[in-house]
Amino acid sequence: MWLNEGMLLDILYGVTLILIMVIASGATVGIFEKLAHDIRTNRLMLASVLVGFSTSLPELFVGVAAALRGQPQIALGDIVGANLANLSWIIGGAALVFGSVPVIGDYLRKELWVTMGIAMFPFILISDGKLSRFDGLVLVLLYFIYVNNLVRNGNSPLKHLKLSGRKPVVHRLKTRMEPLVETIKLVVGLGVLGVCAWMLINVVIRISSSWGVSPFWVGLVILATGTTLPELVLTIVASEKREISLILGNVLGSVVVNSTLILGIISLISPIVYVESLQRGISGLFLLIVLGLFWLFTKTKHKLDRWEGAVLVGVYAMFVGIQLMLA
């Protein structure tokens, strides 16, 4: 895997596209929040939906673009890698930088176990080497069952999330043109995400061909690092503000959305056939290890200490190292 000038340009091009997608996804979610405040809807439902989409838009658009190009293995690798990154170096990095991440509420009693089951469920479905359209439908239905259960039981991990711009109507300056302007901005933002995702998949295909590695590997190791940047930014901001619900809600919500709704949509568009069993097995094993370590570290003292965060980051580094050796 020697890097020549063409490969370096592809990497630089890909990084640029990812950064544009990160900026566009942040702006798009902000606009969506503003529009949603004018709709008479359940606030808890809104928070439950935003917890996933606010940071998973890059995975969604990249996944759809890959599926439309007939390369769903790229999307699968991105989602598996993103889930592992969220639960290891992102939340572990927050503990490493800020000293600790408190764990409160029902996370250990219920949410973590639910997330663990949902995160591992796709590995069960793909144990035969493929993810069919029927499997995709099951995953999408599982997501809506999950959201419905959160709303019905009032256990949304982000039920304390303060949505931006949430003020009494009398304190908001409104114009008749504002909804139209915000809608146009939303469409433009989604368009930028779509175009960048399509171009990024072209880059990933070239890198896969040039390096002689599988599309699944590129998504797993390289693409996932870029598409989890929104989660990293939100986790850092939440850690600085000590917004505990936002820290874990961000991570757990993203894992659930990635593993169900996004992967389900991808499979409905283009069924995923044949994923190398060794890479699939190692990915599932490391995901299980990270989930187990997080539970073990936090089950008694209800916080993730700095050294424990370092362990999680180290596990992710070990995973990447093994994948590089297998490439």
Do residues 164 and 31 touch, judged by C-beta distance below 8 A? Answer: no
Phi and psi at 71, nearest 5°, equal -125, 55
In this prediction, residue 130 has a pLDDT band, given cuts at 50, 70 and 90, of confident
**Number of domains making up the chain:** 1
The pLDDT value given to residue 173: 40
Residue 84 pLDDT greater than 90, yes or no: yes
Range of the domain at 177: 5-326
Residue 273: Cβ within 10 Å count: 12
Helix (H) or strand (E) holding 177: none
Give CA separation, 44 vs 36, 48, 230, 237, in Å.
12, 6, 22, 22
The pLDDT value given to residue 311: 94
In this prediction, residue 121 has a pLDDT band, given cuts at 50, 70 and 90, of very high
CATH number of the domain at 134, please: 1.20.1420.30
Residue 281: Cβ within 10 Å count: 13
The pLDDT value given to residue 10: 79
pLDDT, tens digit, 9 for 90 and up, residues 239-291: 666 666 667 777 888 888 999 999 999 999 999 886 667 777 888 899 999 98
Contacts of 85 (CB under 8 A, 6+ apart): 224, 225, 228, 231, 316
d(CA 281, CA 291): 15
**Residue listed under structure tokens 């996933």:** 52
Do residues 316 and 87 touch, judged by C-beta distance below 8 A? Answer: no
Q: Which two tokens stand for residue 14?
A: 């890909």
Phi and psi at 99, nearest 5°, equal 95, -45
Do residues 134 and 279 touch, judged by C-beta distance below 8 A? Answer: no
Quick one: 7 exposed, middle or buried, by C-beta within 10 A (0-12, 13-18, 19+)? Answer: middle
pLDDT, tens digit, 9 for 90 and up, residues 151-186: 676 544 444 444 444 444 434 444 455 667 777 777
The more confident residue out of 84 and 188 is 84
Most confident of 25-34, 201-210, 250-259, 284-293: 284-293
Residue 28 pLDDT greater than 80, yes or no: no
Least confident among 41-45, 137-141, 190-194:
41-45
Do residues 87 and 291 touch, judged by C-beta distance below 8 A? Answer: yes
The pLDDT value given to residue 170: 39
The DSSP string of 196-211 is: HHHHHHHHHHHHHHHH
